[in-house]
Amino acid sequence: MRLLIATDAWHPQVNGVVRSLENMAAAGQELGFETVFLTHQDFASVPLPGYPEIRLSYATKGKVARLWSDLAPTHVHVATEGTVGYATRRYCLAHGRPFTTSYHTRFPEYLAARAPVPESWSYAWLRRFHGAASGTMVSTPSLERDLASRGFGNLMRWTRGVDTDLFRPAGPDDVPPDGLVGLSGPFFLFVGRLAVEKNVSAFLDLDLPGTKIVVGDGPDRARLAGLYPKARFLGTLTGAALARIYAAADVFVFPSLTDTFGIVLLEALACGVPVAAYPVTGPLDVIGGTGAGILGPDLREAALAALSIPRERCRAEALRYTWGESARQFFTNISLAHGTGLPTPRRRAFRAAPAV
């Protein structure tokens, strides 16, 4: 069986959506699915103002139709609500092809943070977009409840995973990463896109001992670096370099109020790093009452309290999340929504997609 994933989120973007889709493609091979992607790379595109790594594609239903015969999918998943996703959705509706969608991003809240657009308008559009799908995948119970209360239907659960071989606690012989040499601890770490919707300033404003470490890039980086010269900004890191920074941290601080999950939470826990966050969707579901982090309205208080959490507890919690289980949920949802069963799986252990 061949699954087509239509997504506006793709390389060179570094985010949880891209990471999740890459791992689903890798796992699909073991579950009997070949996965092909329809992305901005298949269309003419221009960079989004302020976000040059995000491409706005001139995707049309006609261009999708011309590509369709070559791709020949048996199943379709529309991963994002951008131009690529919208054109693919239109094609499927015009030709009576069932498809699934996934809800990765709280665009109503993101848009309201940047422009005077009522969230109710954005949610109405998203409700219409996803309402045409055979199923809409959501990552957490709290997100499912929230969307259901807003009138979304056909919701299906799809959790996330983490590569616990790559993201692991530091060993006794590991040396500190170069980016942290000479800095005073404890290290309070943030990893993510540097943009207004991530609420990074709420972390950088905290009165904390030691050093604040920021990993990531985005339109707000220059402004934040100028306002907070005592913080160490390391730019975008991936793979082993990112894992080493996680493992060297004392607390991972997650200030976002609008994420739907937060794969970075799992990456931190896998490295034995406790989490401090607000009690909102994502942290509530991943951390909750596990004892692997502190949730509360006072982020400084949570960050300081998290220093006393045993690192072994954090690692143990992360081991509950695997990309293999995430893929099983994803492809089961795909099969159910398309009225097919899962193909006979290949008997080979799944490994996470290589981090770059």
**Per the domain annotation, does 170 fall within a domain?**
no
Question: Rounded to an integer, what distance in angstroms lies between the CA atom of residue 171 and that of residue 53?
Answer: 35
Give the global pTM: 0.92
Q: Are residues 191 and 258 in the same domain?
A: yes
Give the count of domains, the chain.
2
Q: Are residues 327 and 237 in the same domain?
A: no
Is 271 within the bounds of a domain? yes
In a domain, 60, yes or no: yes
Are residues 186 and 155 part of one domain? no
Closest CA to 189 of 141, 243, 240: 243
Residue 167 lies in a domain: no
Considering the domain architecture, whether residues 149 and 297 belong to the same structural domain is answered as no
Q: Domain of 151?
A: 2-161+322-337
- Same structural domain, 29 and 142: yes
Give the CATH number, domain containing residue 189: 3.40.50.2000
Strands 2-6 and 275-277: unpaired
pLDDT at 114: 81
DSSP 298: -
Place of tokens 């493609």: 25
Residues 285 and 330 in one domain: no
Query: Do residues 233 and 330 touch, judged by C-beta distance below 8 A?
Result: no
35, part of any domain? yes
Bridge-based pairing of strands 51-57 and 45-48 is antiparallel
Return the DSSP state at 240.
H
| pLDDT of res. 356 | 47
The three-state secondary structure class of 318 is helix
Residues 190 and 146 reside in one and the same domain: no
328 and 311 assigned to the same domain: no
pLDDT of the residue at 112: 87
Calpha distance 297→277 (Å, rounded): 8
Whether 43 and 123 share a structural domain: yes
- 146 and 191 within one domain: no
Whether 19 and 32 map to the same domain: the answer is yes
The CA-atom distances, in angstroms, between 296 and each of 54, 73, 254, 275, 342 are: 33, 46, 11, 11, 42
Residue 19 belongs to some domain of the structure = yes
> Within this chain, do residues 9 and 121 fall inside the same structural domain, yes or no?
yes
Q: Is 12 within a domain?
A: yes
User: Within a domain: residue 168?
Assistant: no
What are the mean pLDDT values of the chain's consecutive 10-residue runs (356 residues total)?
A: 96 93 95 96 88 84 91 97 96 97 94 88 98 98 97 98 98 90 97 95 99 97 98 97 98 97 98 99 97 99 99 98 97 93 60 57
